[in-house]
Amino acid sequence: MLYKNRKKYAPFEIRLAAFFSKISKNANFWTLLSLIFAVASAYLITRQSFLFAGLFVAISAMLDVVDGSIARLHNKATNRGAYLDTVSDRYAEAIVIVALVFVPLPSVIFPPAVWIAVLLFGSLMTTYAKASASEKGLPTPLGVLLERAERVFLIFIAVVLGHFGKVYMTYAIILLALLTNISALQRVRMVLR
């Protein structure tokens, strides 16, 4: 959904890139720093420090925008950098999701580990359905219900909700688990059309 409005955010991305370029113009530096913040967030989740974990998820997401913005601003975008960014994104998202297994959450219909596994599966399949279509030379479907930006935003919400009650976190995880898998199936349907 946010992907369709990406051009609206271009001026903001340029300002963000210009600001962070003062620290480093190396886009890969920002990619790896984003991953470090995701790992730190996962650690904080396991310590049940949900507000700080949420803050680190948000910082990781912002740095993920910074890396590509800096590469484009300085005309240094490469396939290798884009590949590193994509792989790093998958690791960052998966690390945060897996950390949720270590939070004693209440069961809702199924044990929380089942919902977390379904969420992880849906998250990975949404991305894989796109990559697989591209690899096979099929049209690459964009604009599904939950692209990466929406998933990360909802993961941030789920983590922060843990501060107010683990049952709220559980419901957010269930919602994410369902929506990510709907997004994956939506992408598959778009490719097969």
Residue of 91, 99, 3 lying closest to 50 (CA atoms): 99
pLDDT (0 to 100) of residue 9: 63
Highest mean pLDDT pick, 17-21, 25-29, 141-145, 187-191: 187-191
Mean pLDDT, residues 94-109 taken together: 95
**CA 132, 57, 63: angle at the middle one, nearest 5?**
75
pLDDT (0 to 100) of residue 3: 53
3-state secondary structure (DSSP) of residue 139: coil
DSSP 145: S
Model confidence, pTM: 0.86
118-158 tens-digit pLDDT: 999 999 998 888 888 888 878 876 777 888 888 899 999 99
Look-up of token digits 């990466």? 148
- Rounded to the nearest integer, the mean pLDDT of the chain is 86
Residue 86 has pLDDT above 70, yes or no: yes
pLDDT (0 to 100) of residue 190: 85
Q: Identify whether the C-beta of residue 99 lies closer than 8 Å to the C-beta of residue 46.
A: yes
pLDDT (0 to 100) of residue 1: 53
Between CA 128 and CA 184 the distance in angstroms is 8
